[in-house]
Amino acid sequence: MLDFNQFEVVSFDCYGTLIDWERGILPVLKQLLSSREIDLSDDGTLELFAEFESELEKDKSDYIEYRKILQEIVKKFDQKLNFEPTETEVKTLADSVNNWQPFPDTVAALSALKQKYKLAVISNIDDDLFAGTAKHLKVEFDWLITAQQVRSYKPSTRNFEIALETMGIPPEKLLHVAQSVYHDIVPASSMGISTVWVNRRQGKAGFGATMPANGKPDFEVPDLKTLVEAIG
C-alpha cells in the first residue's frame, strides 16, 4: 500500500483520466463513418484510433502538434476504409476537443486533492487545446506539461523528465495518476515514479483508445473518487 503522505505533487494524464475522451472521440468518428454507410463497432473504431495515434506520435522524423495528429487520424481512417473526408471533416476531431467533458467524479476529486497536494497535468496535448479543456476542470493546476512544450509524446520518458525538472522535485515526491498503461504507467514506473492506474474501462473488453500494454501500477482504482477515499 502506498504511503500517500510521502508525495508533494499529484500529476495526472488528462484525456482518458480526467476527461472522458472516448465519449468525445466516438460520436465524431462514428458520424464520419455512418455518413458513408460504413458499419464499424465502437471497440473497432477506438482500436483504430489508438493504432493511428500511436503511429503518428512515434514518428521520430519531426514533432507535429496534436491538433495535426487528430487531423491525420481522420485521414488514416479514410485510407483504411476507402473514403475521402472533406476539408471540414478532417478538422472535426480536433475541433471537438473543447467539448469533451470530464468524468462525473473528476471535478470533485481535483478539488479535494488540491487541499493536500500541488497538482500537475502531464498530457499529450497542445497548449491551446488544453486551454479549452481547463474550463471544464475548474481547478488551478500548479504545473502544466504538454507534449507541445516538451516536443515529444508519452510514452517517451522525456515528458516525465521535463516534468520533474520543472517541478524541482525527485521522483519519489511525485504520484502520477493515469488511465493509460501504455502512455503513462509503464514509462513513469520505469523512472521510479509511483503510479496509480485509474481503470476507467473496468468491465469492458480491450484497451479502448489506448494501445495494449503490460505494466504494474503501485495502486489501482476504478475512478478518482475511490482514490480520494483511499488517501483520506
Residues 14 and 129 in one domain: yes
92 plus 201 within the same structural domain: no
Asked if 42 and 94 sit in the same domain, the reply is yes
Task: For 60-109, write each residue's pLDDT tens digit.
Answer: 678 999 999 999 999 999 899 988 889 999 999 999 999 999 999 999 99
DSSP string, 81-111: HT----HHHHHHHHHHGGGPPBPTTHHHHHH
Residues 86 and 175 in one domain: no
pLDDT score at 162:
98
210 by Cβ neighbours in 10 Å (0-12 / 13-18 / 19+) ranks as buried
Q: What is the CATH number of the domain that holds 136?
A: 3.40.50.1000
Q: What's the confidence (pLDDT) of residue 26?
A: 97
| pTM listed for this prediction | 0.96
Distance between CA atoms of residues 54 and 9, nearest Å: 28
- In the sheet with 194-198, reading across from the earlier edge strand, the strands are 143-146, 118-123, 9-12, 174-178, 194-198, 219-221
Closest CA to 57 of 148, 122, 178: 148
- Are 107 and 194 part of one and the same domain? yes
Q: What is the pLDDT of residue 203?
A: 86
- Containing 42, the helix (H) or strand (E) segment is helix 42-57
Last residue of a domain, one of 99, 122, 151: 99
What pLDDT score was predicted for residue 83? 85
Contact assessment for residue 202 and residue 103, using Cβ atoms and an 8 Å cutoff: no
The neighbouring-strand residues paired with 120 are 11, 143
Is 70 exceeded by the pLDDT of residue 31?
A: yes
What is the tens place of the pLDDT at every residue in 127-166? 999 999 999 999 999 999 999 999 999 999 999 999 999 9
Residues 209 and 135 in one domain: yes
Report the relative pairing of strands 9-12 and 118-123 from DSSP bridges: parallel
In tens, the pLDDT along 175-228 reads 999 999 999 999 999 999 999 999 999 888 899 999 999 999 999 999 999 999
Domain count, the chain: 2
- Report the alpha-carbon distance of residue 199 to residue 69 in Å, rounded: 25
Residue 50 has what pLDDT?
Answer: 98
What cell numbers appear for 193 in the block?
515514479
**pLDDT at position 59:** 72
Domain encompassing residue 155: 4-20+100-231
List the one residue out of 144, 142, 102, 100 whose CA is nearest residue 125: 144
Residues 84 and 115 reside in one and the same domain: no
- Give yes or no: residues 39 and 88 share one domain: yes
Mean residue pLDDT across the chain:
96
- Last residue of a domain, which of 99, 132, 160? 99
Residues 111 and 211 in one domain: yes
Please give the pLDDT value at position 60: 67
By annotation, the residues acting in catalysis are 13
How many Å apart are CA 126 and CA 232, to the nearest integer?
Answer: 33
State the amino acid at position 30 in one-letter form: K
CATH number for the domain spanning 72: value is: 1.10.150.750
121 shares a domain with 75: no
Last residue of a domain, one of 51, 80, 99: 99
Residues 32 and 126 placed together within one structural domain of the fold: no
Specify whether 214 is located in the same domain as 126. Answer: yes
